[in-house]
Amino acid sequence: MTKKFVIFGNPVEHSKSPQMQNAGLKYINFDGIYEKHHLIDGNIIKNIFLENNYSGANITVPHKEFAYENADIVEGIAKEIKAVNTYILKDGKVVAYNTDAPGFLKAIESFGKVKNVLLLGAGGTAKAISLALKEKNIKVTVLNRSEGKLEFFKNHNIPSFSWENFKPDIYDLVVNSTSAGLKDDYLPAPKELLEPILKNASFAFDCVYGKITPFLALARENNCEIKDGEDMLLFQGVLAFELFTNTKADNNVVKAMRKGLKGE
């Protein structure tokens, strides 16, 4: 029987996960299909997953915390992050993982040694990235529009600020984990706040992929080496693919998935 995999999100039509995952499934001759599922209400994610007989799912914004709350079993770093981006069905139970954290670390390897990071945003992706960096003993500071979402970071002893009470430091890397620039021309923070920070930084990374966002454009103007979220999407996707198929993805599978992601 063909196994069904899916990506849940709102919005989800822009997602390139299906073309990446289907390329991997085809490469290893796995009897499976990966589709998009536009989900408006994150509270019902587990029910929808089970009702549709999905074998596995990826979860994107804004449902990662809902997916965590609804899972039967949560594995690994996801327990601490309290946000998940991958579901698999195992013995009738919904088991949840977070592959964003290791996916992000793999994606920034090309920047070389990074010691001090400013992370913009405070959602599920920011939680994953902040804990991944902290585990690697890389200093991370979180900056978010409002104070409301910062409790998680304070509880993990991660310096976190709203725009109002922020006093900038010098950072090697500035990361945008918000959806600013995904569907609009917004920056993730006011230009007058961001520009002086980017002037002193070496690298800028945006979790949004497939385009030069206003954030990356501003970083490039200020002589930062820039990178969009394609590698993060690829590497978190490879880790999810391994969970979906219960296989180990070798370099050829990764290459096939990258080609799929690029639409080649």
Please give the positions annotated as active site: 64
Helix (H, G, I), strand (E, B) or coil at 19: helix
Q: Which residues, 6 or more positions from 70, have their beta carbon under 8 angstroms from its beta carbon?
A: 43, 45, 46, 94
Residue with tokens 């040694």: 113
Q: Which of 47, 38, 98 is nearest to 68 (CA)?
A: 98
Q: Which residues, 6 or more positions from 149, have their beta carbon under 8 angstroms from its beta carbon?
A: 122, 123
Q: Which of 171, 103, 113 is nearest to 142 (CA)?
A: 171
Max alpha carbon distance in the chain (Å)? 57
- Cβ atoms of 9 and 59 within 8 Å: the answer is yes
Rounded Cα distance between 167 and 18, Å, is 41
